[in-house]
Amino acid sequence: MPDASDPTFRNATIAVLVENEAGILARVVGLFSGRGYNIESLTVAPVDAERRLSRITIVTSGTDMVIEQIKAQLDRLVPVHKVSDLTVEGPHLAREMMLIKVVGRGEQRMEALRLADAFRARVVDATTGSFVFEMTGAGDKLDAFIELMRPIGLAEVSRTGVVAIARGARSLQS
Amino acid sequence: MSATAQTTTEARTMNGAEIVLQALKDNGVEVIFGYPGGAVLPLYDALFQQNAIRHILVRHEQAAVHAAEGYARSTGKVGVVLVTSGPGATNAVTGLVDALMDSIPVICLTGQVPTHLIGNDAFQEADTTGITRPATKHNYLVKDINKLAGVVHEAFYVAKSGRPGPVVIDLPKDILIGKGPYTEAPQTEHRSYRPVTEPDPAQIQAAVQLLKRAKRPIVYAGGGVINAGPEASRLLTEFVRMAGMPCTNTLMGLGAYPSSDPQFLGMLGMHGTYEANLAMHGCDVMLNIGARFDDRVTGRLNAFSPASKKIHADIDPSSINKNVKVDVAVVGDAARVLAALLEAWKADDAVQDRAAIAEWWRQIDAWRGTDCLQYRQEGSIIKPQHAVRRLYEITRELGRETFITTEVGQHQMWAAQYFGFEKPNRWMTSGGLGTMGYGLPAAMGVQIGHPDALVIDIAGEASILMNIQEMGTLAQYRLPVKVFILNNEYMGMVRQWQELLHGSRYSESYSASLPDFVKLAESFHAHGIRVTHADQLDAGIREMLAHPGPVIADIAVAKDENCFPMIPSGAAHNEMILAAGQQGGVAGVTDEGKVLV
Ligand SMILES: Cc1cc2nc3c(=O)[nH]c(=O)nc-3n(C[C@H](O)[C@H](O)[C@H](O)COP(=O)(O)OP(=O)(O)OC[C@H]3O[C@@H](n4cnc5c(N)ncnc54)[C@H](O)[C@@H]3O)c2cc1C
Ligand SMILES: Cc1ncc(C[n+]2csc(CCOP(=O)(O)OP(=O)(O)O)c2C)c(N)n1
Ligand SMILES: [Mg+2]
């Protein structure tokens, strides 16, 4: 398989609309591991209870040929409705949510709060020795905040992985 | 999933086992290949109480799947398998992967422990849907009897539509015993799975543009043409003859184009003909129809047909641009694509460059002159090629409808090279997975589908032992399958690679302690024949063919014969090794090539 030195190597954010049924996630994850595709992040949740649909967002990377394969392989899974490579099909929004725990006292607490404010992170839990911040944004913004918290007293991070949607009127669910 | 309960006017109530059998009947099933066990006893009980569906009791679950494959490939119908939970299901896995790789429609019903015990490590519990997820096109675990009939109907649709493949339905025992509604197959479209069969006219136009202007065209047709049904082979033949182009078939595509036709170049690929491979290498326009650019066919990818524009027609978009980047992609069923190509070709005013094509044929004829499949049968030792050639000629003389299956190894390649096929669905072989032990059970399935035909398994002495227990099934059902063993006392294909790539160190590839195949046949109530001299070969073949029941013919052949031509792994089409003493390309196997299988 061609590697990262190939000039067409790129990241791709792929949205997959699937039947909300047992085993669907195993099918998708098994496809990626079985065929040696990268998964940088994967999120899944039901999005339409009435039509029993879930949406999976996968951030992956590969050459153009590999990404075309990934789309075709996903599309041939029986419970898959639609596959879209948001990266190439027009502008899109990508967001991630994170809960981040910072422990510390005194000046460290003040510094953490000041930075959280600058990054628009919300305090969702506080004790005398800790904060949990909630933050939403693009992945690199979350990365930057984590790096800032590290010297202050970073204790734990939980991230959702990327969810994404196309800008404008286009819809995968129509 | 469309497998929800349908509200029909007269939903009949039955138990789960009866629902399964009714759904099989409604999907046209006449025969199933199976092996019983605790978890499927309700199904066996229901089978006992009806006559519409015949059950063939195999001797190993792997063989049940191969038999279903042989049945499916030779009849165009879906093959059906029934096995118990746990070891029954795990034994079936090799067959399922085989069917997946070769795109064969098979439905495998597996027993499962009752739903309330799933996950408890119950007796004979295995995570069948987990294990078979990458081994099937799709699989189901039925946990709600209201959905059972719908799941079975859907499974048939999935198995046979689009790119065919195996489907597993895992059936917990409480579901088989419980009562529920029987519903007919839904008339509605599937919610999410809708394979494209009708080609895009713009792509057909683009294909015709290229093909009409080609100076050195070639048609490379594969198993997809067989999958598309006999009409596709007829259209392929019509198209190739009309366009005056050379045609080559993959191992899986043999029979899609008549082998006796002068425009046929033989099989291509690792053990394909010199002319087919050089024509693929030198063509300027290639039409791939229903083939998947397998590594056994392309050789080294960056040297594959470097100067050609490539058109690829395939029903599965994931086959296109997977290994080889193509210029025109046509998604659709091979028969529909060929019909559209014929029509668009006739409507197009452009005229072919007949002079260039005549020159191309002169070049091809020069390659043909190499006579790459020549061999010399001298003395009393039987050349394996000669054994296959005589088998072919004698069966042709007899004029009986003949079906060939094979095991895996050199004998398989010699069968592909020296046995000619005029029609599709007459050739059953394990191409993608290369499963030793495929041929005998597959022949069994073919014979069930074609009771009056001549069915021959061309076998190796090592492969045949992998499912030899099926001789018992042949005896029980009086299936007159002929097992034609090319006995070279080696795992010949392994020995050949060891000779060519590993300094003739024949590590563990000698077939030691072989059984006496004549006695073995007799102990299974079959007829045994052994042939050791070239001058007895014809008589041996005739005796085998004349015998009304199952036969094992053990043909002692040259032990050290290699299968040529050969493109070594990692080499290009124009770097082919011809038989010893013939002029060919360089036989350089790089270290990179050695890594390849
Ligand atoms: C020892 C050994 C040696 C081998 N050597 C060779 C060799 O020398 N040459 C060779 O050719 N093979 C060889 N093989 C077989 C090889 O491994 C592959 O199985 C084979 O080449 C694949 O054939 P195919 O491309 O026709 O594809 P198949 O596996 O038959 O796949 C069919 C293709 O057609 C598509 N398709 C299915 N249904 C339809 C439809 N209705 N309409 C349109 N498209 C459809 C599918 O999506 C798929 O892409 C060898 C195997 C073994 C075990
Ligand atoms: C189940 C399985 N195990 C191992 C192999 C690897 N393999 C390929 S060909 C071959 C030897 C086959 O020997 P035989 O049946 O005698 O055929 P021959 O090559 O001698 O004609 C082996 C071991 C395989 N294809 N399948
Ligand atoms: Mg052998």
Distance of CA A8 to the CA centre of its chain: 22
Probe residue for ligand 1, chosen from B69, B100, B101, B103 as the CB with the greatest number of ligand atoms within 8 Å: B103
Token readout for B178 is 């419980």
> Above 90 in pLDDT, residue B249?
yes
Q: What is the pLDDT of residue B10?
A: 62
| pLDDT per position as a tens digit, A20-59 | 999 999 999 999 999 999 999 999 999 999 999 999 999 9
CA distance B140 to B370: 53
CA distance A44 to A163: 9
CA distance B373 to B578: 9
- Phi and psi of B43, rounded to 5°? -70, -40
At B580, the pLDDT band (50, 70, 90 cuts) reads low
Token readout for B392 is 């072919």
Contact, B19 vs B209, CB < 8 A?
Answer: no
Q: Which of B302, B297, B288 is nearest to B268 (CA)?
A: B297
Token readout for B192 is 């999410």
Which tops the pLDDT comparison, A65 or B585?
A65
Percent of chain B with pLDDT over 90: 93
Closest approach of A95 to chain B, Cα-based (Å):
27
At B574, the pLDDT band (50, 70, 90 cuts) reads confident
User: Can you tell me the mean pLDDT for B410-438?
Assistant: 98
DSSP 3-state assignment of A139?
helix
Instruction: Measure the CA angle with vertex B71, ends B67 and B72; round to 5°.
Output: 115
Which tops the pLDDT comparison, A5 or B267?
B267
Contact, B81 vs B170, CB < 8 A?
Answer: no
Ligand 2 atom 2: residue of nearest CA: B436
Residue B182, CA atoms < 13 Å, CB-side half-sphere:
17
At B597, the pLDDT band (50, 70, 90 cuts) reads confident
Rounded to a whole number of angstroms, the distance between the first and last alpha carbons of chain A is 35
Q: Is B25 a catalytic residue?
A: no
Contact (CB<8Å) A69/B317: no
> Above 90 in pLDDT, residue B583?
no
Token readout for B162 is 């689009």
Q: What is the pLDDT of residue A4?
A: 73
Cβ-proximal residues to B466 (8 Å cutoff; 6+ apart), any chain: B407, B436, B437
Measured CA distances, B81 to B32, B168, B499 (Å): 5, 9, 40
Give bridge partners of residue B221 from the DSSP assignment.
B249, B289
CATH level 2 (architecture), domain A93-163: 2-Layer Sandwich (3.30)
- Residue A18 forms contact with B (CB below 8 Å): yes
Q: How far apart are the CA of B565 and the centre of ligand 3, in A?
A: 18
| Average pLDDT value over all residues in chain A | 95
> Above 80 in pLDDT, residue B307?
yes
User: Can you tell me the mean pLDDT for A97-106?
Assistant: 96
Element (H, E) at B180: strand B179-182
Q: What is the pLDDT of residue B5?
A: 45
DSSP-assigned letter for residue B208: H
CA distance A53 to A41: 20
Domains and CATH numbers, chain B: 2-182 (3.40.50.970), 201-368 (3.40.50.1220), 384-556 (3.40.50.970)
DSSP 3-state assignment of B509?
coil
User: Can you tell me the mean pLDDT for B303-322?
Assistant: 97
ω into A46 cis (within 30 of 0): no
CA distance B32 to B48: 13
Q: Is B124 a catalytic residue?
A: yes
Residue B558: CB within 6 Å of ligand 2?
no
Residues of A in contact with B191 (CB under 8 A): 19, 81
Count CB-CB contacts under 10 A for residue B584.
18
DSSP-assigned letter for residue B480: -
Q: Is B173 a catalytic residue?
A: yes
Q: Is B264 a catalytic residue?
A: no
Element (H, E) at B404: strand B402-406
DSSP 3-state assignment of B284?
coil
Q: What is the pLDDT of residue B4?
A: 46
> Above 90 in pLDDT, residue B160?
yes
Q: Which ligand is nearest to the CA of B226?
A: 1
Element (H, E) at B277: helix B274-282
Residue B414: CB within 6 Å of ligand 2?
no
Q: How far apart are the CA of B587 and the centre of ligand 3, in A?
A: 24
> Above 90 in pLDDT, residue B46?
yes
A2-16, B69-83, B396-410, B435-449: segment of lowest average pLDDT: A2-16
Token readout for B206 is 């683009």
Q: Is B61 a catalytic residue?
A: yes
Q: What is the pLDDT of residue B589?
A: 60
For B318, the closest of A27, A73, A78 (CB atoms) is: A73
Q: Which of B455, B462, B521 is nearest to B491 (CA)?
A: B462
- Residue A27 forms contact with B (CB below 8 Å): yes
Residues of A in contact with B320 (CB under 8 A): 72
Token readout for B545 is 């063919």
Give chain B's largest Cα–Cα span. Answer: 75
Strand A154-159 versus strand A80-85 pairing type = unpaired
Closest approach of B164 to chain A, Cα-based (Å):
12
Residue A163, CA atoms < 13 Å, CB-side half-sphere:
15
Which tops the pLDDT comparison, B572 or B470?
B470
Q: Which ligand is nearest to the CA of B413?
A: 1
- Phi and psi of B542, rounded to 5°? -65, -40
Probe residue for ligand 1, chosen from B163, B268, B280, B336 as the CB with the greatest number of ligand atoms within 8 Å: B163
Give the A:B interface size as CB pairs under 8 Å.
47
Contact, B153 vs B6, CB < 8 A?
Answer: no
Per this entry, what is the length of chain B?
Answer: 597
Contact (CB<8Å) B137/A73: no
Q: How far apart are the CA of B14 and the centre of ligand 3, in A?
A: 51
Q: Which of B565, B391, B442 is nearest to B94 (CA)?
A: B442
Closest approach of A97 to chain B, Cα-based (Å):
30
- Residue A19 forms contact with B (CB below 8 Å): yes
Q: What is the DSSP string of A76-133?
A: TSTTEEEEEETTTSS-EEEEEEEEEEEE--THHHHHHHHHHHHTTPEEEEEETTEEEE
Catalytic residue, chosen from B252, B280, B436, B493, is B493
User: Can you tell me the mean pLDDT for B277-287?
Assistant: 97
**Strands ordered across the beta sheet of B138-141:** B54-57, B31-34, B79-83, B106-112, B166-172, B138-141
Count CB-CB contacts under 10 A for residue B75.
17
In sign, the C-alpha dihedral spanning B29, B31, B33, B35 is: positive
Q: Does domain A10-85 have CATH number 3.40.50.10190?
A: no
At A174, the pLDDT band (50, 70, 90 cuts) reads confident
| pLDDT per position as a tens digit, B368-389 | 999 999 999 999 999 999 999 9
Name the percent of chain A in helix, strand, coil, to the closest 5.
30, 40, 30
Ligand 2 atom 9: residue of nearest CA: B409
CA distance B103 to B422: 21
Q: Which of B11, B200, B191, B29 is nearest to B106 (CA)?
A: B29
Probe residue for ligand 2, chosen from B436, B487, B507, B514 as the CB with the greatest number of ligand atoms within 8 Å: B436
Element (H, E) at B361: helix B354-368
At B2, the pLDDT band (50, 70, 90 cuts) reads very low
Q: Which of A133, A98, A105 is nearest to A118 (CA)?
A: A133
A122-131, B2-11, B541-550: segment of lowest average pLDDT: B2-11
> Above 80 in pLDDT, residue B35?
yes
Measured CA distances, B481 to A47, B155, B234, B420, B579 (Å): 56, 31, 28, 19, 33
CA distance A6 to A66: 11
A1-15, B81-95, B219-233, B426-440: segment of lowest average pLDDT: A1-15
At B575, the pLDDT band (50, 70, 90 cuts) reads confident
For B321, the closest of A19, A65, A78 (CB atoms) is: A65
Closest approach of A75 to chain B, Cα-based (Å):
9
At B569, the pLDDT band (50, 70, 90 cuts) reads confident
Q: What is the pLDDT of residue B587?
A: 45
Q: What is the pLDDT of residue A63?
A: 96
| Average pLDDT value over all residues in chain B | 95
Closest approach of B460 to chain A, Cα-based (Å):
32
Residues of A in contact with B321 (CB under 8 A): 65, 68-69
Cβ-proximal residues to B518 (8 Å cutoff; 6+ apart), any chain: B528, B529, B530, B552, B554
Ranges of each domain in chain A: 10-85, 93-163
Mutation target to probe the B interface, by most B beta carbons within 10 A, among A76, A77, A81, A172 is A76
At B6, the pLDDT band (50, 70, 90 cuts) reads very low
At B595, the pLDDT band (50, 70, 90 cuts) reads confident
Ligand 2 atom 8: residue of nearest CA: B409
| pLDDT per position as a tens digit, B324-357 | 999 999 999 999 999 999 999 999 999 999 999 9
User: Can you tell me the mean pLDDT for A104-130?
Assistant: 96
Residues of B in contact with A80 (CB under 8 A): 192
CA distance A11 to A4: 11
Q: What is the pLDDT of residue B573?
A: 86
Catalytic residue, chosen from B124, B205, B352, B582, is B124
Q: How far apart are the CA of B442 and the centre of ligand 1, in A?
A: 17
